[in-house]
A = this chain, B = another copy of it.
Amino acid sequence: MPALQFWFDFASTYSYLSAMRIDKLAGKAGVDVSWKPFLLGPIFADNGWDTSPFNLFPARGRYMWRDMERITKERGVPLNRPETFPQFTLTAARTGVAAAGEPWLPGFCRALFEAEYGRGEDITCDDATARALERSGTEPQEWLDKARQPGTKQALKDRVDEARSLGIFGAPTFITSDGELFWGDDRLEAAIAWAADSQPG
C-alpha cells in the first residue's frame, strides 16, 4: 500500500488543518498515513530563532491568523485562538512518540488539536494530554507514564534529529516512500497524489 509520513508539531496551526483531513483524503486515494509528531523548536533554534517565525516576524504572524480564519471558515472547521502561541507541547509530543504505531494515535492527535485550536484551550499540562488519551479510548495514566520514560525522551530527540536529516524545516511536512518532501497544508493533495502514484521501494 502506498505510504505517506505526516510530520507535525502539536503547536503548529497549519498542522491542525492537516490533522483534521489527512486520513479522509489519504483513505480515498488508498494511501496509508504514518503520524509523526515531533518538535520544531530545536529546528527553529538552528536558524537562531527562539520562538515561532509567526512571532518573530509580526506581518507574517498576522497573515497566518487571517489565513487560518479564511481556511477554517471555508472548510467548516472550528478555530479559536489560544491565549498563548506557540504552546509548549513536550508532553504531547513525547506521548505521541511513545504511541508510535498504536491504532488510536491519530485520534489522540486530533483530540489534542481540537482542544488547542478548535476550542482555544491550553494543552501544555498533563491533564490536557490525559483528556485527549481518554477521548481516543486509551488509559491515560499508563501512557503518561510511558511518555516520561527515558527511552521515550530519547526517542523524541532521535525523531527531531531524523526530521532535521530529512530536510524538514516546518510543519506540516509530508514525505513519500520515495523520499519526496512536501511542506504545508496546501501541499497535502499534491503529496497524497505523489504517494498514490509512486511504488513503495
Q: Which residues of B contact A169 (CB under 8 A)?
A: 57, 59-60, 63
Q: Which residues of B contact A167 (CB under 8 A)?
A: 59, 62-63
Q: Please, what's the 1-or-0 string for A48-63, where 1 marks a CB less than 8 Å from any CB in chain B?
A: 0000000011011011
| Complex: A190 Cα to B185 Cα, angstroms | 15
Say if the beta carbon of A75 comes within 8 Å of chain B. Answer: no
Q: Please, what's the 1-or-0 string for A62-99, where 1 marks a CB less than 8 Å from any CB in chain B?
A: 11001100100000000000000000000000000000
Say if the beta carbon of A181 comes within 8 Å of chain B. Answer: yes
**In contact, B47 and A183 (Cβ under 8 angstroms):** no
**In contact, B57 and A181 (Cβ under 8 angstroms):** no
A139 to chain B, nearest CB (A): 38
**In contact, A63 and B190 (Cβ under 8 angstroms):** no
Copies of this chain in the oligomer: 2
Q: Which residues of B contact A160 (CB under 8 A)?
A: none
| Complex: A60 Cα to B173 Cα, angstroms | 12
Q: Which residues of B contact A63 (CB under 8 A)?
A: 167, 169, 181, 183
A41 to chain B, nearest CB (A): 15
Q: Which residues of B contact A62 (CB under 8 A)?
A: 167
Q: Which residues of B contact A182 (CB under 8 A)?
A: 67
Q: Mark out the residues of chain A between 145 and 201 whose CB falls within 8 Å of any chain B CB in the assembled complex.
A: 167-170, 180-184, 186-187, 190
**In contact, B57 and A190 (Cβ under 8 angstroms):** no
- Nearest B residue to A181, CB-CB: B63
Q: Which residues of B contact A67 (CB under 8 A)?
A: 182-183, 187
23 CB < 8 A contacts A-B: A47-B56, A47-B57, A57-B169, A59-B167, A59-B168, A59-B169, A60-B169, A60-B170, A62-B167, A63-B167, A63-B169, A63-B181, A63-B183, A66-B180, A66-B181, A67-B182, A67-B183, A67-B187, A70-B180, A70-B190, A184-B186, A186-B186, A186-B187
Shortest Cβ-Cβ A-B pairs, 3 listed: A59-B169, A186-B186, A59-B167
